[in-house]
Structure 1
Amino acid sequence: MTNDIVLPSTRIRGLNTPSISPAGWTLPPGYIHLGIAKEIGPALRELGVDPDPVIRDAGLDPRLFDDATNVIPQAALGRLLTLCVARTNCPHFGLLVGKRASILSFGMVGRLMQHSETVINALRALVSNLSIQDRVAVPSLAISGDMALFSYAVYRSESQSADQISDGAIAASVNVLRVLCGSAWHPTEVFLPRAIPVDSEPFRRHFRAPVRFNHEMAAIAFPTRDLHVRISGADPMLRAMLEERIGQLKGGSGSEFSDDIRRLLRTRLTSRRCSADDVAGLLAIHRRTLSRRLKGSGMGYRSITNEIRFEIARQLLEDTEVPLGQIAAALGYSEASAFTRAFRRWSGVTPTAWRTTDSLG
């Protein structure tokens, strides 16, 4: 099997990218700095499995995992996590990886969080800037009354193990909040887009909170008051330097406009209406400007919206036991029958047939 990725100062196969270090390069869609995934090797060793053969079988070079700033595609990460679950017989392997992660696993963005003034500033820094290091998971922060909801959505989830990626991201985020708020911190509830595991105790033990499985999103709920906690040891000068550096990286981004729209829709489609006018307003551009820029990428707004709906539907059908009516409602359909017709147009089969086929392996 050939490797998807080679070492730093070389090329990512299939991309006409100059030979530069990944640490100074803005990610294309579908790629991720190792970050949290660097903990895959230690998690395998903890379970008595040599990581090198598993990593090679996923089409990757084990030396990649020596440096958290190295880059891999989401498809390779999904293959690797699927193999890890199979080789360890551990259905919550992603949770174990996320448990080992620290705030520094989030790279430059994690350092900015450490030096933010308050927790809400830190989380907003993560939401605004994670895309310089991760074009796989999309974070979001919502506040309603006395409750805050921090969520992750995995997009481009045609690859494997979206549930394992979500588990790891949420587990790592809880670690981060414990660094910012104190080691005794715990969420009010945790929501995960995966079927109820045979043994849910590892989840409860790490989160120290009720865990709701079969949910439409991966999220952490906690009191709004925690957002106002001031971060001990934050250095305003370092914060300014990090903000400047991240701003330079974002300013040099060559990501496609259509992919930015996909990321935005992935966090919003299941929670609120997202008409083209709504999205244009969020981006502070005219509706016609949105259409023109998307036309330049070869896709219209309706096509991208349906693509993301199909992506979310597949993820919920494959990784959870959420009823079809609930999936339909989450995607904005007034009736399950309308969702079924749309899904058949996208895939050629009904949602029930898709879920049944997936469960049979």
Structure 2
Amino acid sequence: MRIAASIAQDLGMPAIYLHILAELLNTIGLDERDLLLRVGLDPVQLKSADLRVSQAQASEFVTRAIIESREPGLGIMLASKLKLPLHGVLGVAVMSSRTLQDALDLMTRYLTLRAPHLSVSRRECGTDIHYTIRSDGEPGPLQKLVMDAMLFGCAFMGQQLTGTTAKGSRILRKGPEPAYFYRFRQSIVMPVNYDAQVDALVIPVAALSAPIRFSDDQLAESSRVQCENALEQLTADAGFECRVRRVIETSYPFPPKLARVAATLFVSERTLKRRLQEENASFQSLVDQVRLDRARELLTGTGMNLNRIADVLGYADAANFTRAFKRWTGSSPSYYRVAAA
């Protein structure tokens, strides 16, 4: 089963969110590992704070998760699990802000880092500020889950930041109230109004000056700069080569076959090769780059022997791995491990 996904500009989805969702599925009795493997995702790699999953694979995983768990409210459940540190450098920047308004301004500018197909606009409406969330992605289970996780997550995170929920705050949702929502209403920390014209977080102007409990001016400035750099890098990484690499990085089994990657990205093998060639890259060179990065991590960060590392990287034996590593770096894996110690 393949789920249609927008591939015009696939900036990927942070892998850590799918890892948290997988853990959530486990708590409700679903075999999350089996589900991930069927979609071609490596459960171990999803724990990384730095990797991103292709939109196509994220969409397929989420769609299967909703169908097989029979739980349409997974996005709301996920929202309650998303603690601020899980949002990477943006989470750090938000946590170290001075006021709630500063935190929301950061979210408005840098949301693309965490949810590429969502955008936020700020509008003053009487004594309230409306932070309206819009999606430019294709409608479907993934976008619905992301929108739920984003809006309801903001409610939970606001409570984390200030220690309380601002009086008068509320969430607006487009469309009629889902039949299942009654099961979650009591757990949402602010009122939720359906049948609205937009999806939005509404905060009273007076509440925006509320101080953040973890405020740290120095950390706030350094993390804001990191957000700016990360946003610039993410935009620069919008090319086809980066999209292919993302699939390779999170694929199971590893390394993936060219045919599997092409199918994931909804292109033919010939088109994949041609488009990579246009960007002066090749499929095998990308596989080797990922292998080298992963080899270095395993050699310096684990006590795995060379046979085990070779197996993880998809080599028949340690000898083949050693030859490849020498070709890439000029030194043996054993020498590299000792030198890095």
**TM-score, normalization by structure 1:** 0.58
The one-letter code sitting in structure 1 at the alignment partner of 2:200 is A
Could you give the per-residue CA deviations for residues 103-126 of structure 1, whole angstroms, max 9, x where no partner exists? 122210110011111111111111
Residue equivalent to 1:150: 131
Out of 182, 188, 191, which is 1:207 matched to? 188
- Distance apart, 1:214 and its partner CA: 4.3
Which consecutive unaligned segments of at least 5 residues does structure 2 have?
239-341
CA change 1:73–1:213 in 2 (3 A) is: farther
CA change 1:201–1:63 in 2 (3 A) is: same
The one-letter code sitting in structure 2 at the alignment partner of 1:118 is T
Residue equivalent to 1:127: 108
Runs ≥4 residues deviating over 6 A? none
Task: Say whether residues 1:230 and 2:220 are aligned partners.
Answer: no
Residue equivalent to 2:56: 75
Contact map agreement 1:163 1:194 (CA 8 A) in 2: no
CA change 1:92–1:133 in 2 (3 A) is: closer
Task: Say whether residues 1:192 and 2:192 are aligned partners.
Answer: no
Residue equivalent to 1:354: none
Contact map agreement 1:171 1:206 (CA 8 A) in 2: no
Contact map agreement 1:75 1:159 (CA 8 A) in 2: no
The one-letter code sitting in structure 2 at the alignment partner of 1:200 is F
Distance in 2 of aligned mates of 1:179 and 1:78: 29
> Which structure has more RCO (C-alpha within 8 Å, separation ≥ 6)?
2
Distance in 1 of aligned mates of 2:83 and 2:149: 12
CA change 1:167–1:249 in 2 (3 A) is: closer
Residue equivalent to 2:159: 178
- Distance apart, 1:184 and its partner CA: 4.5
- Distance apart, 1:53 and its partner CA: 1.5
Deviates more, 1:138-147 or 1:164-173: 138-147
Contact map agreement 1:154 1:162 (CA 8 A) in 2: yes
Percent identity between matched residues is: 16
Residue equivalent to 1:254: 236
The one-letter code sitting in structure 1 at the alignment partner of 2:208 is L
The one-letter code sitting in structure 1 at the alignment partner of 2:44 is R
- The SS at the match of 1:161 is helix
Distance in 2 of aligned mates of 1:175 and 1:132: 19
- Distance apart, 1:136 and its partner CA: 2.3
Residue equivalent to 2:337: none
The one-letter code sitting in structure 2 at the alignment partner of 1:68 is A
CA change 1:119–1:207 in 2 (3 A) is: same
Distance in 2 of aligned mates of 1:50 and 1:81: 14
Distance in 2 of aligned mates of 1:46 and 1:140: 35
Could you give the per-residue CA deviations for residues 194-231 of structure 1, whole angstroms, max 9, x where no partner exists? 54322322332232443233444322222121111111
- The SS at the match of 1:84 is helix
- The alignment yields a C-alpha RMSD, in angstroms, of 2.7
CA change 1:147–1:62 in 2 (3 A) is: same
**TM-score, normalization by structure 2:** 0.61
Residue equivalent to 2:22: 41
Distance in 1 of aligned mates of 2:195 and 2:33: 33
The one-letter code sitting in structure 1 at the alignment partner of 2:93 is L
- Distance apart, 1:178 and its partner CA: 0.7
Distance in 1 of aligned mates of 2:214 and 2:141: 39
- Distance apart, 1:69 and its partner CA: 2.7
- The SS at the match of 2:236 is coil
CA change 1:138–1:58 in 2 (3 A) is: farther
Task: Say whether residues 1:57 and 2:34 are aligned partners.
Answer: no
Aligned length: 233
- Superposed, 1:97-136 pairs within 5 Å as 97-136=78-117
Distance in 2 of aligned mates of 1:78 and 1:217: 23
CA change 1:174–1:42 in 2 (3 A) is: same
Q: Which has the larger radius of gyration?
A: 2
- The SS at the match of 1:192 is strand
Contact map agreement 1:85 1:93 (CA 8 A) in 2: yes
